């Protein structure tokens, strides 16, 4: 069976999803449950079941499943990578990517960073200024060249603001 580039990418994505799940389960087990679920000291001493018992049980079940998934998808990724390299479907490390390929690979992260900055801006400054700044940034990043789209998005943002302000009587931050 020959591995295509799409099969290699799928194996890589599946492994990445499992690694993200591993991190999330670790955060659940070592931060969320012990820090956010408070247990009275008397309950720790007297009861065998506390408010943390069932969440810990589910967390450890998820941890076992995640470790099994990590092993399964890790092995599948290693196998797919070796076959894809043997077939010439993927590049060797020595080959350089073009600037367009680098930007295309980073585009989801760039958009994510813009959205995070927008959320931080809304919390710090309010709705209007971050929205006025974010719209042209996102449209330029995504390659939009028609000025009408800028107008449409600004009109949509203004209508959202007006609906919240005058119809729902909710003051946006």
Residues 53 and 32 in one domain: yes
pLDDT (0 to 100) of residue 22 = 94
Its domain, for residue 81, covers 5-87
Q: Is residue 93 part of a domain?
A: no
Per-residue pLDDT, averaged over 125-135, amounts to 88
Residues 81 and 146 in one domain: no
The number of CA neighbours under 13 Å toward the Cβ of 45 is: 3
Residues 23 and 82 in one domain: yes
Tell me the average pLDDT of the chain.
86
Residue partners of 94: CB distance under 8 A and separation at least 6: none
Judge whether residue 93 has pLDDT over 70: no
Residues 76 and 106 in one domain: no
Q: Is residue 47 part of a domain?
A: yes
- Torsion sign over Cα 79, 85, 89, 92: positive
Q: How many domains does the chain have?
A: 2
Residues 52 and 120 in one domain: no
Residues 36 and 80 in one domain: yes
Residues 16 and 55 in one domain: yes
Structural domain ending residue among the three candidates 66, 87, 108: 87
Per-residue pLDDT, averaged over 134-155, amounts to 87
């Amino acid at each position: 069976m020959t591995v295509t580039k799409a099969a290699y990418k799928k194996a890589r994505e599946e492994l990445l999803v499992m690694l993200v799940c591993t991190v999330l389960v670790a955060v659940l087990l070592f931060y969320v449950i012990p820090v956010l679920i408070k247990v009275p000291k008397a309950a720790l001493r007297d009861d065998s079941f506390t408010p943390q018992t069932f969440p810990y049980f589910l967390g450890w079940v998820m941890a076992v499943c995640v470790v099994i998934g990590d092993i399964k998808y890790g092995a599948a990724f290693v196998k797919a990578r070796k076959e894809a390299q043997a077939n010439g479907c993927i590049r060797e490390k020595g080959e350089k990517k073009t600037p367009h390929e680098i930007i295309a690979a980073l585009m989801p992260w760039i958009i994510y960073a813009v959205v995070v900055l927008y959320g931080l801006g809304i919390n710090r400054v309010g709705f209007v200024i971050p929205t006025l700044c974010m719209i042209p940034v996102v449209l330029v990043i995504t390659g939009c060249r028609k000025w009408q789209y800028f107008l449409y998005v600004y009109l949509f943002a203004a209508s959202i603001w007006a609906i919240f302000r005058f119809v729902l009587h909710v003051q946006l931050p």
